Structure 1
Amino acid sequence: MNLEHLNELKKLLSSPKKIAIIPHKNPDGDAIGSTLALWHYLVNNGHTASVVAPNDFPKFLKWMPGADQILNFEKENSQSKTCISNAEIIFTLDFNHLGRVGQMSESLELASATFVMVDHHQEPSDYAKIMYSDVRMSSTCEMVYVLINQLGKKDSITTEMANCIYTGIMTDTGSFKFKATTSNTHRVVADLMDKGAEGTEIHHRIYDTNSPSRLHLLGCALKNMVILEEYATAYITLSQEELDKYNYQKGDTEGFVNYGLTLDGIQLAVIFIENKEEGILKISFRSVGDFSVNDFARTHFNGGGHTNAAGGKSDDSIEETITFFTSLLPQYKNQLRS
């Protein structure tokens, strides 16, 4: 965060405030970890704060300290709207465009609070008065750690906060294997462990608590994988019928897209997941090397994210979307084969 915005934030937080903390829709480990860590910090420093999530989040994140205090905008609509409308400060974490909060966007647009953005995705919009945007960071959780340090309060990071921040860093870096993982990321993680973060236990809670139905769904996804060697690409499809057959629960497909990148020679991995309730096809893109799935998703699939990890969507059927997707690959062949 630049010095001007940091000083402005310090001034804002110099007296007790009513604060709402917002993650993106379908929040992941980084979104939940960063919002809860910030919530603990603000409450511990005398503020009245609440995390308001646009919708529910995966069961494997609900062990996190403070998770039972998160308001669900879909299920606790009146209370959530009151919290947003009464807020003097609204922190938005792990997203940089109000379109990422779904039906909550109207409430945020009507809010009179001062907005503070903390995010590491590319091409931020300008809705926030105070911005901390850094695409070089591994995760929003790492940014929350840095922000607390910049506020002069690093010693106030509790074990609960350390566990939340560690979770977000671990999940958003693919257990520290993604390109955005830096030596400084590891220094942050080391300090979090010194402050009580339980790395082994966190990894177990996130990755080793699968249901049989989730593993059966993974088997279905892998069976559906198509490999396009000519374009160094692999993609997976999951229909609504297949999701229903294996009793899909929120978060069950987390990480499925990454399996494509475990294949030798594959540079681009994609998963297409049908969501009939929302009437869209959700798409996740992953890449290795210099191929920017952020640019690809923004150009063709109304999405975006990071250079090597992005999301998008399609209003067409799986078949129509796959036909369109594969028709795009010839123009990217040289980039994908480089």
Structure 2
Amino acid sequence: MIDHIIEAIEAAETIILHRHERPDPDALGSQVGLKKLIEATYKDKTVKVTGYSEPSLAFLGEMDSVTDEDYKEALVIVCDTANTPRIDDDRYTLGQTLIKIDHHPEVDLYGDISWADPSMSSTSEMIYLLATTGKKKLTVTDEAARLMYAGIIGDTGRFLYPSTTAQTLYVAAELVRFNFNRSNLYNQLYETKPAVAKLKGYLLDHLNLSEEGVTSAKLTENVLATYGVTPEETSVLVGTYGDVLGIKAWVIFVEEPNQIRVRLRSKGPHINTLAAQYNGGGHPLASGAKVKSWEEADQLVNDLKDICRAYKKSEEE
């Protein structure tokens, strides 16, 4: 599969890289990292990245200006996106060839070439393997290494999540051989604004652990306004409840214009199928979704309790 992807890259004059909406470090690390790899290896190719530019992650790279004309006979590669509705910039279908590279459980079968491997910690890990394990090696620069490393530590929670494997640690060890400032990268990824830190205190103060091991929190527009935090800035709070004894799974609802964003996390029960029922998806232990009302949010919490109740029963058996 790696060789097929490299062959497609070599055959293309123009390559346009996509990833999922509301990008996280892995989405950008894999997308922009792949751009840097291709540019360093093939000086004559035009490589562009497209999608919404997330201000809080601008240090991982800015998006390019891409016209409809750019897609003519172009190779399009979509990184880190399991289902087509989540692909940022719906022009991904305009190219000549489409490739999917992703580490989520398969949701949509799309692409002329599809490399989907849920055993991988991150799509950034896959991009490193793409660059280094095929018949044709790509040139890994310091900047490409920084981006792939950012993607890996982002999706593994700095190597704390179960998705971290021996191969993940090997790849990370290879990447830190390159010349980039890891301390600065960690600060950029994890430093918290005072307002966001205070909102974290609000979440902990409103802990409501159920007998099933579920807790939930609603960050309404009024709450966000009170603390002076935007919906986008709440993404760093998703792990707030992870260290609380007795919690099996948790959900944080974030009110946005016209919808309520859902951030789901788990310590064991699989939650990605639940997310799929609510216009979302993701990993078994880390997923996202969307609901249209607080009544629907309450129903999601009840469904999550059912999942955790069944999980606890299976543990007891």
Q: TM-score, normalised by structure 2?
A: 0.90
2:24 to 25, 28, 36: 28
Separation in 1, partners of 2:183, 2:253: 32
| Structure 1 vs Structure 2 CA RMSD | 2.1
Q: Is the 8 A contact 2:17 2:78 kept in 1?
A: yes
Residue 151 (structure 2) aligns with? 168
How has the CA–CA distance of structure 1 residues 330 and 188 changed in structure 2, closer, same or farther, with 3 Å as cutoff?
Answer: closer
Residue 295 (structure 1) aligns with? 273
Where 1:253 maps in the other structure, the secondary structure is helix
Query: Which AA in structure 2 matches 1:30?
Result: D
Q: Is the 8 A contact 2:3 2:136 kept in 1?
A: no
Where 2:71 maps in the other structure, the secondary structure is helix
Separation in 1, partners of 2:300, 2:109: 31
Gaps (5+ residues) in structure 1? 72-78
Residue 281 (structure 1) aligns with? 260
1:62 to 53, 58, 61: 58
Where 2:172 maps in the other structure, the secondary structure is helix
Residue 179 (structure 1) aligns with? 162
Q: Is the 8 A contact 2:76 2:98 kept in 1?
A: yes
How has the CA–CA distance of structure 1 residues 223 and 90 changed in structure 2, closer, same or farther, with 3 Å as cutoff?
Answer: same
Offset, 1:154: 5.0
1:264 to 218, 226, 245: 245
Aligned residues: 311
Separation in 2, partners of 1:29, 1:62: 10
Where 1:202 maps in the other structure, the secondary structure is helix
Percent of aligned positions that are identical? 26
Separation in 2, partners of 1:198, 1:308: 30
Residue 52 (structure 1) aligns with? 50
Separation in 2, partners of 1:166, 1:250: 26
Separation in 1, partners of 2:247, 2:59: 35
Q: TM-score, normalised by structure 1?
A: 0.85
Gaps (5+ residues) in structure 2? none
How has the CA–CA distance of structure 1 residues 125 and 251 changed in structure 2, closer, same or farther, with 3 Å as cutoff?
Answer: same
Q: Is the 8 A contact 1:303 1:312 kept in 2?
A: yes
Where 2:303 maps in the other structure, the secondary structure is helix
Offset, 1:195: 2.0
Offset, 1:36: 1.1
How has the CA–CA distance of structure 1 residues 174 and 330 changed in structure 2, closer, same or farther, with 3 Å as cutoff?
Answer: closer
How has the CA–CA distance of structure 1 residues 220 and 149 changed in structure 2, closer, same or farther, with 3 Å as cutoff?
Answer: same
How has the CA–CA distance of structure 1 residues 10 and 309 changed in structure 2, closer, same or farther, with 3 Å as cutoff?
Answer: same
Matches within 5 A, 1:227-242: 227-228=209-210, 230-242=211-223
Offset, 1:118: 0.7
Separation in 2, partners of 1:326, 1:116: 36
Offset, 1:286: 0.8
Residue 309 (structure 1) aligns with? 286
